[in-house]
Amino acid sequence: MNDFDMLAILLIILAGIITYSLRFGGLLVGNMLSKHKFIENLIKALPGTLLLSFIVPSIVSEGISGAISALAAGIIAKKTNNVLIALAAGMAIIILFRNFL
Amino acid sequence: MKSNFIKGFSATIPVALSVCAYGLVLGVLAYSKGVTFFELLLMDVITFAGSAQFLMVELWKDPLPFTEMLFAVFAINLRYLLIGASLTPLFKGSTLFEKAALMHLVADENWAVTMARLKKEKITPYFLFGGGICLVICWLISTLAGHTFGFVISDPYSAGLDFVIIIIFTALVASFYDGKDSVLPWVVAAIFAYLSFVFIPGKWYIVIGGITGALVYSIQKNLRGAESE
């Protein structure tokens, strides 16, 4: 095994330790913080705002087709409660735009 | 406890299928960057974080950019601090050992499915863990298959593979929509996320948009509480 291999494995292990510490650390800190009403509301709102922040740049970068696709997927998901149907509709729109328009 | 595991596992299957598409792409990319089968397998199990793995593979070269890579992994995964914190209600009453053991397999996807379900019914952390097991199985199969047979997919862009995760998350965001209370926080989150995406390198936009939006929600609730008193 050469140096690159050893370093690569060390790197992967360290990346894993960092990731796990954030996962577990968040839960421990959250436990202490949730005693405050303000923090509790903050934590309650986080899932929606985090996911939204995740998708917004990609949708904007994609342009009109991204917006139409996301809007369709969002509305369908809310109405049908079915992620798979929403996914099929959203993907159909994206593939159509990328290949035929 | 057992049924929660199975419920979580099956509820995560639709999302896991889309994760497979994502994993295939990662496998193909890893192969082309010279990441070995074993290294990819290690990453899947030890790091188990899609966007961080994409980034590591993206930066993979000889000599390895050690510091940049680890800092990037930290920045990208900083959101797990918030994800972990948001799971506090789910883990209420769990032992420290349970928390330590069940948190490793928390990814964006099973977390989102769990949080959406938690709004509707009482579930235990094993729901989340079942989802994690479902994801890790799909993740291993798809990334390693991509690594082995990747040359078959000639044009992932036309197939829209990169957009699968976005659509899935959009559908999940919709399920978090809470009526009027969500509007202002969401608008603020979207604006801050986009501005950070444009002006700040890396994946900080997720954390910045998420925190500002949630802060607006909290302040809004606080002000309304003060009014009603």
**Based on the domain organization, do B97 and B117 belong to the same domain?**
yes
Range of the domain at B226: 178-229
Q: Rounded to a whole number, what is the distance in Å from the CA of A98 to chain B's nearest CA?
A: 6
ipTM, 2 dp: 0.76
Beta-carbon separation of B175 and A33 below 8 A: no
**Is A64 in CB contact (< 8 Å) with chain B?**
no
**Based on the domain organization, do B161 and B190 belong to the same domain?**
no
**Based on the domain organization, do A24 and A50 belong to the same domain?**
no
**Based on the domain organization, do A86 and A65 belong to the same domain?**
yes
DSSP state of B163: G
- Which tokens in the block code for residue A7? 């370093």
> What are the pLDDT digits (tens) for B52-106?
898 788 778 878 888 888 877 887 787 788 889 889 889 988 999 999 999 999 9
Which phi and psi angles does B155 have, rounded to 5°?
Answer: -140, 80
The answer on pLDDT for B22 being more than 80 is: no
Range of the domain at A67: 46-101
pLDDT band of residue B46 (cuts 50, 70, 90) is: very high
**Based on the domain organization, do B136 and B37 belong to the same domain?**
yes
Beta-carbon separation of B84 and A15 below 8 A: no
Beta-carbon separation of A18 and B73 below 8 A: yes
> What are the pLDDT digits (tens) for B130-155?
999 999 999 999 999 999 986 666 66
Beta-carbon separation of B217 and A44 below 8 A: yes
Q: Check: CB of residue B161 under 8 Å from CB of residue B19.
A: no
**Based on the domain organization, do A95 and A53 belong to the same domain?**
yes
For residue A41, being part of any structural domain is answered with no
Report the distance separating Cα A28 and Cα A23, nearest Å.
9
Give me the long-range contacts of A8-11 (CB less than 8 A, separation at least 24): A8/B39, A8/B64, A9/B39, A9/B42, A11/B56, A11/B64, A11/B66, A11/B69, A11/B70
**Based on the domain organization, do A20 and A56 belong to the same domain?**
no
- Domain count of the fold of chain A: 2
For A84, counting Cβ atoms within 10 Å of its Cβ (0-12 exposed, 13-18 middle, 19+ buried), the class is middle
**Based on the domain organization, do B47 and B74 belong to the same domain?**
yes
User: What confidence score (pLDDT) does residue A40 get?
Assistant: 75
Per-chain mean pLDDT for chain B: 87
**Based on the domain organization, do A63 and A25 belong to the same domain?**
no
The answer on pLDDT for B228 being more than 60 is: no
Residues of chain B with C-beta less than 8 angstroms from the C-beta of A39: 218
For residue A68, being part of any structural domain is answered with yes
Q: Rounded to a whole number, what is the distance in Å from the CA of B32 to chain A's nearest CA?
A: 16
Q: Is B16 in a helix, a strand, or coil?
A: helix
Residues of chain B with C-beta less than 8 angstroms from the C-beta of A50: 79, 82-83, 86, 206-207, 209-210, 214
Q: Measuring CA to CA, how many Å separate B198 from each of B167, B191, B205? A: 21, 11, 9
**Based on the domain organization, do B216 and B167 belong to the same domain?**
no
The answer on pLDDT for B107 being more than 80 is: yes
For residue A74, being part of any structural domain is answered with yes
**Based on the domain organization, do B29 and B108 belong to the same domain?**
yes
> What are the pLDDT digits (tens) for B144-185?
999 998 666 666 677 776 787 788 789 888 988 878 899 999
The angle at the Cα of A57, spanning B40 to B80, to the nearest 5 degrees, equals 50
| Higher per-residue pLDDT: A46 or A90 | A90
Minimal Cβ distance to A43: which of B86, B104, B205: B86
- Domain stops at, among B154, B176, B198: B176
